[in-house]
Structure 1
Amino acid sequence: MAGSERDHACDDPARDHQPSSSPAPHKDAVGSNSVESTIAPHQRSVDQVLAALHTDWRSGLSETQARERLSQYGQNELTPEKPTPRWRKFAAQFKDVLVILLLIAALVSAASWLYERNSALPFEAMAIIAIVLVNAIMGYVQQARAEQAAAALQRMSTAHANVVRGGERARIPAAELVPGDIILIEEGDTVPADARLIESTSLQIAEAALTGESVPVAKDIDAISGEVALADRRNMIFNGSAATYGRGRAVVTATGMRSEMGRIADMLMQAPAEPTPLQRELDHVGKLLGAGVVAIAVVMIATILFVEDVRGFRAVIDVLIFGVALAVAAVPEGLPAIVTAVLSLGVQRMAQKRAIIRRLAAVETLGSATVIASDKTGTLTKNEMTARVAVTAQGRADFAGTGYDPHGKLSCDGGLLGDVLQAEVSWALTAAGCANNAVLVDHGGRWTVQGDPTEGALLVAARKAGLDPEELNRSFERLGELPFSSQRKLMSTVHADAERAERLLVFTKGAADALLARCSHERVGETAVALTAKRRAEILAVNDELAGEALRVLGVAFRSLPEAASAHRPFDDAVEHDLVFLGLIGMIDPPRVEAREAVARAKGAGIRPIMITGDHPRTAAVIARELGICDDGRAVTGAEIELMPDDVLDRTVREVSVYARVDPEHKLRIVKSLQREGMTVAMTGDGVNDAPALKTADIGVAMGVSGTEVTKQAADMVLADDNFATIVAAVEQGRAIFSNIRRFLRYLLSSNMGEVMTMFFGVLLTQALGLRAAGESGVVLPLAATQILWINLVTDGAPALALGVDPPDPGIMNQPPRPRGEGVITRRMWVGVFFVGAVMAVGTLLVLDLSLPGGLIEGTGTISHAQTMAFTTLVMFQLFNVFNARSDERSAFSGSAANPWVWGAVGFSLLLQAGVIYLPFLQEAFSTTGLSAGDWLLCAAVASSVLWLREASKLIGRLARARRG
């Protein structure tokens, strides 16, 4: 029911489905005499419950009352788990075993300094502790930002409720509901709070989550005497349950933790969010790398201790600190946090493009989508229905005007309608206007529809024919309703005829073929004439002709019931037989302008668009051809799918891209068939019965405007604008996010590999590089432990995050989807990682050798100067590698200016490196010396080799693929 009752004639509830009186709203908020504190609402009449809550069933609460009660009762939310204190979150940054070992190493180093007093301050220990603290702060900030992003995503997908406030229908966040609010429940809605039913029109509620009852429960408004179990409270609806059929109106009796869901919140509390498949994979990769690097560090420590001439307590401590520092620097322990941050930030960007991601795993899957199975109405089309034509026994009437503006004339072949045709069309539109739950609203000359757009178009057509809703209300008082169902494909209402009190009228609308099967007669002029097989065939032929004009066609019919039928209420679908056919009404929902381009983009990206609709097959085929979805005009119907065994359906889905007159069960079969064929399926849906198909699809996409709450809860993604182009844009963003994750992985792994190789081969080749002259004893390392930790701090933070926010590549939608099941790190990525790591190690050790006397290349510098040169070269190698990592195929110079964050991160890292080289207190802490301009040029020249060599390898790869292609 939409809007106030006086707005639309056929929205009046049945007499036995509404309270007998309406208490005036009370000006105070709910006090001590509320339903919650004084009575069990299921045991009291509707009037008693309304009186106790000081509310009015027609107008609901005022905004002032609602605010006061919200202040008193709080948000309509389950109490979340107690938040972790900030200090605990910060302390958690020190739980990693390697970090603990590093802190122990710092303490041992400080103890060694106290014993030896070989410097003014324990610079090494201070540097290690400072780096650990900075890393902890960065980790804490990163975690906080990820939590904020996740909270923002939660707010984006907040449930809403339809309420009556101050006599007007409104849609508000469910968290703002208060006791006494009047809520409207329709098929597909999730019940937002515990409430006592005031009206019930064939309402059925699925309460399995609360009661374990697998079958939806039929609801009514009658009071229940005595205490009964939750499952037997047929006049109550409960928070978290779902409306599967019908509609109703209820008054909220309990919210938040006072609701039945709140009372069992400990049992139903949602489990902590599961890591996504990508996060699990990266965690596995991180553990493997960590185990490998720790093993290497242990081997290196053991080799140095047992092979080299290590003497003295201090020398042993230095070796141990080096091993721990190498392990800490080489293990990408921050990968899961960085992935979460990048995913969350990317999802926020997607939300700005009207695609709201409810589950992070969907972002990963979007990149590999090969099929988008989309509904037609509202997604590929505008969902702005306009009635164009009505066809009755005497002929065709055309409607002028567009949109929801009810001004426009009816004509027949360009002239006026004859009296008989006028009467037939008027009666058909009377049926269409009464079997209708939409409301047409005038906002200062701008007309809008509250409710279903198709029903809105029928209301507009009725007004154009001179039918006034208030007059219809007086003439035909609604007594009952059989809501639309996807199985019947019909919707009917039962009315009292004011002119002939002895009879009731049934008005029915729905799919022409389904409706005609239930008709025995046709109205011709003022007479009901028996339908012959020939006439049925003629009507169906007209239906096909209209569908061929891309019109959506509905049939309308009626029948009269004897007065005795009123004793058998509530009515069932038995009244939908022996109907009198009134005519066909054709409406058009024009394709979205942007949909054709979006279809072309999807095809260019290797994604196959499929249309699945409940419309007529010819209508679907015409729209699909116009949008470029198919060229052959072939459409398979739900009836045909019904007869197909799975193997035949599997062959069909390979070839056919248009499916019409499809039920939700058929959607589910299509999804499963596509998946059996190895396709990754994104499926759209809006009705409650679409939920199984959305859950089964790899990516379930719910309509944010027309979709039901149940569907949104089942979906992975919600479209805020119900637009097919938004799905394609989301796929592009999903691909970009996944590409960015690969970029910073490529960067981190190759950079860490360079550090490990440099230290490993530097230790093995100590004498050959001139680090230790022949005959000398002691341990001399290529880099100090603090220098390794500094590289990890400077290069693994800002540059990696900057790569995570790279804009999408211009050609990302010209590439095929990522193969199903392909890991985030491919074999080619690993080859690139080892290649870049080897280049870094060779170049860094070469600079080290050049800066030392002896070795392979004669030099003149000191050990301190040589280590500083190698230290700076390795840092610059990693900064050049930032640009390499943007792609395994594309040149680093392609689009290099597109991401200013990368340049900023590189510049910031260089500034920090200069500080550690030239600031005296940092020189002592990190064992560095000042470098000349020539030294910097040498370091930069050697470090740039990783860029040129990687560019050459990419070029060779591109040429090889071009020859194969």
Structure 2
Amino acid sequence: MTEIWSPEDRTEYLEQQPAEPYRLGTEQVLTVLRVDKGAGLSRREARSRLERCGKNELRAEEPVPAWRKFLAQFTDVLVVLLLAAAFVSAGLWLYERDAALPYEAIAIFAIVLLNAVMGYCQQARAEQAIAALRQMSAAQARVVRDGAHQTVPAAELVPGDIILLEEGDTVPADARLIQSTALQTAEAALTGESLPVRKDTATVTGEVELGDRHNMIYSGTAVTYGRGLAAVTATGMRTEMGRIAGMLRAAQDETTPLQAELTRVGKLLGLVVVAIAVVMIATILFVEDIQGVSALFDVLILGVALAVAAVPEGLPAIVTAALSLGVQRMAQKKAIVRHLAAVETLGSAEVIATDKTGTLTKNEMTVRAVATASGHVTVSGIGYAPVGQLTRDDGGDLDELLRSEVECALFAAEQANNAALQEQDGRWIVQGDPTEGALIVAARKAGLEAAALGNRFVRIAEIPFSSERKLMSTVHSDAEHQEHVFIATKGAPDVLLARCSHEFVGRHPRALTEERRNEILATNEELAGKALRTLAVASRSLPKDNFGSSAPDDAVEQDLVFLGLIGMIDPPREEAREAVARARAAGIRPIMITGDHPRTASAIAVELGIMADTRAVTGAQLEGMSDEALDHAVRDVSVYARVNPEHKLRIVQALQRNGLTVAMTGDGVNDAPALKAADIGVAMGMTGTDVSKEAADMVLADDNFATIVAAVEEGRGIFSNIRKFLRYLLSSNIGEVMTMFFGVVLIEALGLSGASGDKVVLPLLATQILWINFVTDGAPALALGVDPVDPAVMRRPPRPREEGVLTPRTWAGIIFVGVVTAVGTLFVLDASLPGGLVEGSGTLRYAQTMAFTTLVLFQLFNVFNARSDEGSAFEGLDRNAWLWGAIALALLLQIAVIYIPFLQKAFSTVSLSVCDWLFCTAVASSVLLLRELSKVVTRAMDRRH
């Protein structure tokens, strides 16, 4: 049926297209799609449908113009404040002309521009994720059109096209199978299923989850075995991958706690700046007798200059630098961060919602157990590396009888096998079916060598696996017994056992009794109860004359000799158990979200310590839950199995509604929406899809769950360091503000009013304030940002979501330091001037130089205070060489501005004597000693409570 549709027909198809083609028979699907299986669509009809349905590709949103992305970087409150500070600094330079160039304004503009460029580079993540999805699509597709096989661009496929698929092909569109020969597809990227899924044409009754629709194949998945014929049912954005792309586009980027807090601090500083400018101007006008427009302008400029000093100009740059340096350390630990501002979120994560396949497990099937007539054997080692031991269940060595049986079973399993084990770049990989690869690895662990076996046994025929027979057999000639052929068979235990008449005991067959058959079936149930996937193996020897030269049929799969049961699983990573334990010790709750079978998921979760019982919630159960019920369930449930992409997203959002900071790990296409919606998304670098990597904030280069925990530790360390330099910057700047404010308020008491004939006199000049910010807000603050991670951070619970970067205790310490700094600096100023509370004899310029130097030294001593709110400043001083280097650099710069003639002129300073330096140092050190005393009191109060 290749006739052209009328417009009414096409409209009817699009509106009534079967939403669940898996529930229709093959003939029904072909009827609905108006296509003949043998002839396919005509070229003319295909063009007509393409015009109506559109291309088979994922749509991308219109990109935001580059200039708009760039300008958007300047809308942050703190950035606006910095721009205002730059303009004020430039205005001061224009007014005073005290330097060749407005250096301060240039520096501030440079900081803003640097942050804008870095922010701009982070913008196109959503577009990149959609592009990665498009790249996964098959470039070409083989179809039946006009009764002939043709190759067409995959983008030109339309509903109703008949496509041909073979091993190695990428499925180009969603389609309903109408013919299948041992077809298997790898759907881990879409459903999370760790094993290739066997496909057939049988109609599925009832509504089932994506992973159980065995008669459907999906765009972007890969054919791993067999071949098939399918009718396209959905293309482009109507495919399952298209729906994920739509969800990915709809998911909104979440503001990280650090971003939110810095925005809040920025707004607070903005209000403080305005208040300081207003209060300062009002105070000067009230205290001093201001006359004339020029003097009034001086007051306005000085008030605004002080407000500029209150803004920590280096904050965004230092935050970025600290994050960047932390990111470099994380990269060395195989954690690659794509989104700087999200680094600290990982450190504050309370839940890690992790996929199972390829994340907690290696995504490499591994034989765990072999059961034969004489006992059970445990196989050690994980993954495809042929390294491991075979021991009895009780840990003892294998006796000769048991070893002989196990070798026979694994030998037959390796012969009935089409996979290949290879080592590439130091890593063992399997070409072919992962289950068959696992059998080869187990044979190598048992000492069976491929070369020796291949020289003796040569395959001469094969009876392939089919979903109807559930068996696979191979026929081999035997160089040592040339008159016989050897038949190896593997398959479903119940099916294979029914075809066996004997069982190997040692190397001799023994007739199978009914009692022994029941024992074997019970053993199979026992292995399955441990979430092991079981296969049975058997063999048979036939006279070569009886075999003949024609292709064998399944008659040779009768009167087999049962060799044993083999249990396998995609096992947990060796490091995963310890990583889970460390996460729990750090107050982080691991949750498994997977598309795998509930029994398998529960077994892995129990083994890793993610949960104590075997309770798992399935995707079907989630479908019946309201948001309220799910919000309640996520508080206790730790394993979710057989879930769809929508379920993962719902679970993450439910956890967030419970006030939890969620880190989501994953590797498949199906994980991308949840990765994007989570507070921080973590993708797998080795096995992860491009989509998951583009949607994530962080990528694990080694796909190791233990790396996530190491990244958590590093994230906590980075956040701790951010707190350190925030404490330092804010306490130092508050000290400057208090010094200036109270210096004006107490101008008479300090002797400033008679120190000069100027109408307006301040403790420090505007250029000196800006110099202090330049010297002390740069290198020392950055050095705090690279303080080594305290090992104790992983023994503390995560930072509560509602807790700010700066806690009330932190603010108390900041204000305390600011008060001590202001009092000490004004004391030195007073002691350097005639009159005032403390009699001195110096000039105004000398007194300002003394106060200037004392304030710098106060801030350098304060660097040590800022390392902790509770811990002593003297702990771990030798761990950060950068800190000592930064302090030495700041001192050298201050010495330069005091003694180099042209700098003396630029900053209105005079040379100081050794005694002057000792006096300034003694006074400035008081901030360290007094803060240490306050910490002792704080620790004592904490112990009481």
TM range (shorter): 0.5 to 0.7
CA apart distance, 1:427: 7.2
* Secondary structure, aligned partner of 1:220: strand
1:802 aligns to 2:783 (yes or no): yes
Across the aligned residues of Structure 1 and Structure 2, the Cα RMSD in angstroms comes to 5.8
* Secondary structure, aligned partner of 1:811: helix
1:598 aligns to 2:571 (yes or no): no
CA apart distance, 1:147: 7.4
1:856 aligns to 2:832 (yes or no): no
Identity %: 57
**Residue 287 of structure 1: which of 244, 258, 267 is its match?**
267
CA change 1:469–1:356 in 2 (3 A) is farther
Whichever residue aligns with residue 798 of structure 2, its letter is P
Alignment partners' CA distance in 2, 1:688 and 1:395? 46
Verify the 8 A CA contact 1:376 1:611 in the aligned structure 2. Answer: yes
Aligned partner of 1:354 in structure 2 is 334
* Secondary structure, aligned partner of 1:859: coil
**Residue 523 of structure 1: which of 499, 523, 534 is its match?**
499
CA apart distance, 1:524: 2.5
Whichever residue aligns with residue 103 of structure 2, its letter is A
Aligned partner of 2:22 in structure 1 is none
1:220 aligns to 2:220 (yes or no): no
Alignment partners' CA distance in 2, 1:508 and 1:217? 38
CA change 1:892–1:541 in 2 (3 A) is farther
1:728 aligns to 2:728 (yes or no): no
Whichever residue aligns with residue 790 of structure 1, its letter is W
CA change 1:765–1:492 in 2 (3 A) is farther
CA apart distance, 1:134: 4.4
Alignment partners' CA distance in 1, 2:659 and 2:135? 37
Equivalent pairs counted in the alignment come to 758
**Residue 133 of structure 1: which of 94, 102, 106 is its match?**
106
CA apart distance, 1:852: 1.2
Alignment partners' CA distance in 1, 2:676 and 2:620? 21
Aligned partner of 1:104 in structure 2 is 91
Alignment partners' CA distance in 2, 1:330 and 1:444? 57
Whichever residue aligns with residue 692 of structure 2, its letter is T
1:929 aligns to 2:916 (yes or no): no
CA change 1:80–1:856 in 2 (3 A) is same
* Secondary structure, aligned partner of 1:96: helix
* Secondary structure, aligned partner of 1:197: strand
Verify the 8 A CA contact 2:764 2:851 in the aligned structure 1. Answer: yes
Verify the 8 A CA contact 1:143 1:337 in the aligned structure 2. Answer: no
Note the alpha carbon deviations across 1:154-187, whole angstroms, 9 max, x for none: 9xx9999xxxxxxxxxxxxx99xxxxxxxxxxxx
Verify the 8 A CA contact 1:634 1:658 in the aligned structure 2. Answer: no
**Residue 554 of structure 1: which of 534, 540, 548 is its match?**
534
TM-score by length of 2: 0.66
Verify the 8 A CA contact 1:732 1:813 in the aligned structure 2. Answer: yes
CA apart distance, 1:842: 1.3
Verify the 8 A CA contact 2:412 2:537 in the aligned structure 1. Answer: no
1:336 aligns to 2:316 (yes or no): yes
CA apart distance, 1:813: 1.0
Verify the 8 A CA contact 1:873 1:942 in the aligned structure 2. Answer: yes
Aligned partner of 2:615 in structure 1 is 636
Verify the 8 A CA contact 2:82 2:108 in the aligned structure 1. Answer: no
CA apart distance, 1:798: 1.7
* Secondary structure, aligned partner of 1:722: coil
Note the alpha carbon deviations across 1:880-922, whole angstroms, 9 max, x for none: 1111112212211111222222221111111111111111211
Alignment partners' CA distance in 2, 1:411 and 1:948? 65
Aligned partner of 1:880 in structure 2 is 861
Correspondences of 1:396-407 after superposition (within 5 Å): 404=384
Whichever residue aligns with residue 129 of structure 1, its letter is P
1:370 aligns to 2:350 (yes or no): yes
CA apart distance, 1:97: 2.6
Whichever residue aligns with residue 846 of structure 1, its letter is F
CA change 1:384–1:919 in 2 (3 A) is same
* Secondary structure, aligned partner of 1:475: strand
CA change 1:940–1:147 in 2 (3 A) is same
**Residue 296 of structure 1: which of 276, 279, 284 is its match?**
276
Alignment partners' CA distance in 1, 2:904 and 2:403? 100
**Residue 899 of structure 1: which of 880, 887, 897 is its match?**
880
Note the alpha carbon deviations across 1:713-752, whole angstroms, 9 max, x for none: 4433322222221111010111111112211211111111
Whichever residue aligns with residue 500 of structure 2, its letter is V
CA change 1:95–1:855 in 2 (3 A) is closer
Alignment partners' CA distance in 2, 1:834 and 1:694? 40
**Residue 475 of structure 1: which of 461, 473, 481 is its match?**
461
CA apart distance, 1:491: 13
Alignment partners' CA distance in 2, 1:271 and 1:398? 49
Alignment partners' CA distance in 2, 1:604 and 1:231? 45
Note the alpha carbon deviations across 1:792-818, whole angstroms, 9 max, x for none: 211112222222222212311111100
CA change 1:348–1:782 in 2 (3 A) is same
1:940 aligns to 2:921 (yes or no): yes
CA change 1:536–1:351 in 2 (3 A) is farther
Whichever residue aligns with residue 139 of structure 2, its letter is A
CA change 1:641–1:814 in 2 (3 A) is farther
Verify the 8 A CA contact 2:747 2:753 in the aligned structure 1. Answer: yes
Alignment partners' CA distance in 2, 1:469 and 1:407? 23
Alignment partners' CA distance in 2, 1:421 and 1:868? 88
Verify the 8 A CA contact 1:128 1:786 in the aligned structure 2. Answer: no
Aligned partner of 2:737 in structure 1 is 756
Verify the 8 A CA contact 1:375 1:613 in the aligned structure 2. Answer: yes
Whichever residue aligns with residue 499 of structure 2, its letter is R
CA apart distance, 1:538: 6.4
Aligned partner of 2:422 in structure 1 is 441
**Residue 958 of structure 1: which of 928, 939, 942 is its match?**
939
CA change 1:455–1:874 in 2 (3 A) is farther
Whichever residue aligns with residue 140 of structure 2, its letter is R
CA apart distance, 1:284: 3.8
CA apart distance, 1:100: 1.9
Alignment partners' CA distance in 2, 1:556 and 1:846? 89
Verify the 8 A CA contact 2:361 2:570 in the aligned structure 1. Answer: yes
Question: Please, which runs of 5 or more residues in structure 1 have no aligned partner?
Answer: 1-38, 44-77, 111-123, 161-173, 176-188, 201-209, 223-229, 235-239, 250-267, 483-489, 500-506, 528-532, 559-580
Question: Please, which runs of 5 or more residues in structure 2 have no aligned partner?
Answer: 1-42, 48-61, 145-154, 166-172, 178-188, 191-217, 226-247, 393-397, 478-488, 504-513, 539-561
**Residue 839 of structure 1: which of 820, 824, 846 is its match?**
820
Whichever residue aligns with residue 773 of structure 2, its letter is N
Note the alpha carbon deviations across 1:192-228, whole angstroms, 9 max, x for none: 577223599xxxxxxxxx9999xx9988369xxxxxx
TM-score by length of 1: 0.65
Alignment partners' CA distance in 1, 2:134 and 2:457? 35
Aligned partner of 2:198 in structure 1 is none
Correspondences of 1:195-214 after superposition (within 5 Å): 195-197=139-141
* Secondary structure, aligned partner of 1:606: coil
Verify the 8 A CA contact 1:636 1:660 in the aligned structure 2. Answer: no
1:191 aligns to 2:135 (yes or no): yes
Verify the 8 A CA contact 2:663 2:680 in the aligned structure 1. Answer: yes
* Secondary structure, aligned partner of 1:131: helix
Verify the 8 A CA contact 1:641 1:666 in the aligned structure 2. Answer: no
Alignment partners' CA distance in 2, 1:708 and 1:361? 23
CA change 1:592–1:333 in 2 (3 A) is same
Correspondences of 1:293-692 after superposition (within 5 Å): 293-305=273-285, 308-311=288-291, 315-375=295-355, 379-380=359-360, 385-391=365-371, 404=384, 414-415=399-400, 433=417, 439-441=420-422, 448-450=429-431, 454-461=435-442, 464=448, 475-476=461-462, 522-525=498-501, 541-543=522-524, 545-546=526-527, 552-555=532-535, 584-587=565-568, 592-610=573-591, 629=610, 633-638=612-617, 642=621, 671=652, 674-675=655-656, 677-692=658-673
